[in-house]
Structure formats: structure tokens, C-alpha cells
Amino acid sequence: MKISELLVVKEYEANPYTMAFLPLKVESKLHSIVIETEREMIVPVKPMDLVNRSCQYFGSSFKGRKEGTRELMGITHKPPIIVDPVNEIFLFPTASPSNEVCAWLSHSHILRHYTSGTMTYVEFKNKKRISIDISKGSFENQLYHTAQLRTIITSRMDGKRSMDLFLNPKNQEELIYQHKGEYKFTLD
């Protein structure tokens, strides 16, 4: 599809169908090409602004999500971020987020990648392909860090869900009492 044929959308937030935010120069201004599983569009804001807006939509900010990644993993340079843990929207940058050539990719949509020279070709699960100017090592490092972040967050959320189910079983009454410093549970 030609860029001139893409729909222009004024506002956008990442969602489960978002696969990538790519930078696009239009008359010396930086815009974004948004690639979703079934459509592509242009949003007249920088990819970094779309990432921040998406984080804000889900109750945080890029700065907050970046700090969260640093606390969880110690990553300070090109950190992957979690936009929305419930919908498992994890994005990673292909360059420094302050660099205007930085694209943001959704980890969950990537099927495979391969490299030729300095270009990395990414194939998404829907068979859509894009090329990014990033080395194989750097791309794989970003992919790996994002997978680690997803694992950490998912395991924490699964642990919370398991504890919620244990403490609040559905359709059962629960009696909890303390006896000699130990908690005992009786389910009827």
C-alpha cells in the first residue's frame, strides 16, 4: 500500500492489534505509520508521543513505565516497556527513544526476523513484513529483553491470580481463622 493511500487518524492508542509504530517524515515533521493486524494508518505525531499517549491511556506514562523496567530488570538504555499488562501490550524501541528514527514494535506480534547487512527484516504473525535499520545483535537483544519483561510481569500476574483464586474461591464459603500464629483454612 502506498503512503498516500493510508488513512490519517488524529488520535491513537496502542491496542492488542497494534504491531508497530514507524517514523515517517512529512514536510520536515515527524509522523507515525501505525501498523495493525488488519490495517495501516498515519498518525500526525511522533512514534514516541504515541507510546507516551498509550501509556497514559492505560494509567501511567512512558517515564513511569521506563522506571518500572529499570526497577525490574536494571535496563536503562532502550528499555522495553509494558503499555498494558492486562492485554499484554509490550513494546520495544529499535533505537534510542529520543532518536527520530526509532520505531516501536509489539513483541507479541513478531513471528521471525532475519538480517541482511545493517537491515533487519521483521515478519509479523499475519505475514506482514517490514525492514528496520538495526543490526541483528541489537534487534535480538531488544527482543530478548522484552521477552524477559513479559515473563516477569506475566508470572507476577499469574501469581496474583492464583492467590486470588485460593483466597476467594467461587461458589464456596470460606472460614479463615488464626490458631497459634498459623492460618488455617476451612472450606465448606
Q: Give the residue-averaged pLDDT of 52-77.
A: 95
- Condensed to tens digits (0 to 9), the pLDDT of residues 19-28 reads 999 999 989 9
Q: State the Cα angle at 29 between 143 and 47, rounded to 5°.
A: 25
Q: Which of 58-62, 133-137, 172-176 has the lowest mean pLDDT?
A: 172-176
Angle separating helix axes 47-57 and 62-73, nearest 10 degrees: 80
Q: Does residue 151 fall inside a structural domain?
A: yes
Q: Does residue 175 fall inside a structural domain?
A: no
Which residues span the domain enclosing 43? 3-161
What is the Cα–Cα distance from 13 to 24, expressed in whole angstroms? 17
What is the Cα–Cα distance from 78 to 132, expressed in whole angstroms? 15
Q: Does residue 64 fall inside a structural domain?
A: yes
Q: Give the residue-averaged pLDDT of 85-103.
A: 95
Q: Does residue 40 fall inside a structural domain?
A: yes
pLDDT at 175: 40
Q: Does residue 167 fall inside a structural domain?
A: no
Q: How many domains does the chain have?
A: 1
pTM value?
A: 0.82
Q: Does residue 177 fall inside a structural domain?
A: no
- Indicate the SS3 state at residue 50: helix
Q: Which three cell numbers stand for residue 42?
A: 498515519
Q: Does residue 166 fall inside a structural domain?
A: no
Q: Does residue 115 fall inside a structural domain?
A: yes
Closest CA to 82 of 27, 154, 176, 26: 154
- Condensed to tens digits (0 to 9), the pLDDT of residues 108-166 reads 999 999 999 889 999 999 999 999 999 999 999 999 999 999 999 998 887 665 555 55
